[in-house]
Amino acid sequence: MGCESWRRGLRITVTGFFSRDLPTGPLSSQDLRLLCWNAEADEPINSRPLSLPSSHVVRAARELGISTGDVCERLREFGFRVETLALPAQPSEDDYQFFDWKLDYFEKDEFDPGLPPSPAHLVRASLALGLPVQQVAARLAAYGITVPEQLPDRVLAVDMKLLSQDGDGLPPWFSYRASITLPELLTASSHAGVEPAHGAARLSAYGLKVQDGPFPKEIDKPRLRLLSKDFFPRGRRLRPDRPVPRFHLIRASVELGISPRAAAEWLAECGMTLPPGDIDDAANPMDLVLMRHRRNGPDVWLDVDEPVPLFHLLWVTGKLRMGLRQVAERLRWLGLEVPDVDESIAAALRRVPWMSAP
C-alpha cells in the first residue's frame, strides 16, 4: 500500500473524518508500529476518546529502541491522547514484561487508563518475572499506573485460566471489577481443572465478586456444554438473570441425550432461572421441527439471540400444516423472539419489486 493510501486510511482510523491534518512526508516503519497494536503492524488502532494504554507506549518504545517520550510525542501528532505519567524513559526488558498486557478485542478500544487493568495482566508479569504480584503492582504504581486494590499474597499458575473468561488462560479477561456469575465460575473452574469452591476462593482473592455457593463439586463435559447457548465447551453462556428458554432444554435432548426435565434440574442446581410452568420429560417432535432452520442445505438450530426470520415461519407452516400465527405463538413459548407476523409480511411485500402495468 502506498504512503498516500495509508494516510487516507489513517485519517479515517484516527479521526473518523478527513478534516484533520496529519504529519506530512512518508510514513516510516516506525510510524506504522506506533499506529498499530502489534509489532507486525497489521492491527491498526481505532479512533478512541480515551488515552492509549501505557502498555502500548512502553512496548513500542522497547521494540523500536526509542524513548517513551518520543513515542508519546509522535502519537499525539497523529491525534491520539497519551499520558506520559512516570513511565521509564528507556524501558528495560523487565519493563517490557511488566507491560506485556494481552489486551482483548474490547479492551483495546475501551481500555480506560484511569481504572486498574485486569488482574490477569499483573499475574502474567508475576509468573514471567518470578516476582510476587504485590511487587509487580508496586512497580506499576510507581510508574503512575492505577492498580487493583486487592491482590493475593501468592500467585498460582491456575490463576491465569481462572481470570480468563473462556478458562483457557487467554483473552478475554475478567475485569478487576467483574461480578462472576455461577455459570462463568463453573466454566472457568472446569477448564482450569479445579473445584468450583477453589476457583471462587482464588477469584475472590483478586477482589472479584463471586456468587455465593453452594457449588457443585465438579462439572463434566456434558454439563459444561449445557451451560453454553451453543452447546460448545466454550463460547456464549446462559445468563442466570434470565429464564432458560424451553428451546435450550429441548435442544439438550438432542445434543446430550437427556430429557428436558433432567436438563432443567441440573441447570437449577447451577443457579439458573427456569421458565414458568411444567417441563416435559420428553421433547415434542413438533418442537424439534419448529426449532430447526433451513439454510442452504442441512437444517440448523435457530439462534436464541436472533429474531426468527419470516422465511422460517412460512416454511414450518407448510411442513407442519399449522397456522402462521399458531407457529409464531409456539416459538415464542419456546423462548424465541418472533416479530409481529403482520408487520413482517407487510415489510416483505414492500421489498418485492412489483412490475408496473404497461
Flag whether 87 is in a domain: no
Task: Report residue 117's pLDDT band, with 50, 70 and 90 as the boundaries.
Answer: very high
Flag whether 103 is in a domain: no
Last residue of some domain: 260, 283, 306? 283
**309 shares a domain with 358:** yes
Distance between CA 29 and CA 34 in Å, rounded? 9
Distance between CA 53 and CA 201 in Å, rounded? 30
Flag whether 249 is in a domain: yes
Flag whether 161 is in a domain: no
**300 shares a domain with 338:** yes
**300 shares a domain with 350:** yes
Top mean-pLDDT range of 2-11, 186-195, 259-268: 259-268
Last residue of some domain: 247, 267, 283? 283
Flag whether 129 is in a domain: no
**334 shares a domain with 279:** no
DSSP reduced 3-state for 36: strand
Flag whether 357 is in a domain: yes
pTM for this one? 0.79
**292 shares a domain with 358:** yes
Set of cell numbers at residue 194: 479445579
**297 shares a domain with 271:** no
pLDDT at 354: 67
The structural domain count of the chain equals: 2
Flag whether 348 is in a domain: yes
**298 shares a domain with 233:** no
**235 shares a domain with 247:** yes
**319 shares a domain with 296:** yes
**306 shares a domain with 318:** yes
160, 127 Cβ separation under 8 angstroms:
yes
- Say which residues have a Cβ less than 8 Å from residue 60's Cβ, sequence separation at least 6: 33, 34, 71
pLDDT in tens, 180-237: 988 889 888 888 889 999 999 999 999 999 987 778 777 888 988 999 999 988 778 8
Last residue of some domain: 283, 310, 330? 283
Range of the domain at 276: 227-283
pLDDT in tens, 297-311: 678 999 999 999 998
Sequential DSSP letters for 170-213: SSSB--TT-EE-HHHHHHHHHHHTS-HHHHHHHHHHTT-EE---
Cis peptide before 183 (omega within 30 of 0): no
Flag whether 3 is in a domain: no
Cis peptide before 358 (omega within 30 of 0): no
